[in-house]
Structures are given as structure tokens and as C-alpha cells.
Amino acid sequence: MAIHGPFEAYDFMASRTGHDVRWPKVKGSQFAKAQTAMLAAMDGRVSIEDARACFGLALKEAQLTQ
């Protein structure tokens, strides 16, 4: 599965996409930070790199990484 950019990441976190993997119902603190970072990246307040790092931590927290 590939996610390209903050919009797709935000959409995936909201489980509105057609991906085979869905975000767990229980969401942790990294999830909230990553969602905020994705929104901020979409309007240029946060760099793509910082948003990507937050998303990576949220994926790890949700045990969605290999």
C-alpha cells in the first residue's frame, strides 16, 4: 500500500479510502498529532517531512507497520 501526500494520509486515517487496511477503532495520542500535522501540511503550516514523521509514529502506534 502506498500513500502519496498528506491528503491521502488524512483520508486513510479517517478510513474513508478503499485501502485493504483500515485504521484501528482505538486511536492513540500519535493519531491525533498526525491528523493535526496532515491538516497543517495541506495548508503549508507544517513541512511534508514533519507530517510524514508524525504519520510514521501514528502507524507504529497503531501497529500498522511491518
CA distance 24 to 6: 19
Q: Which pTM was predicted?
A: 0.87
* Segment 22-59, tens digit of pLDDT: 888 889 999 999 999 999 999 999 999 999 999 999 99
pLDDT of residue 65: 79
CA distance 48 to 21: 23
pLDDT of residue 17: 55
Structural domain boundaries in the chain: 26-66
Distances in whole angstroms, Cα of residue 24 to Cα of each of 13, 49, 61: 9, 24, 10
DSSP label at residue 63: T
The secondary element (H helix, E strand) that includes residue 29 is helix 29-42
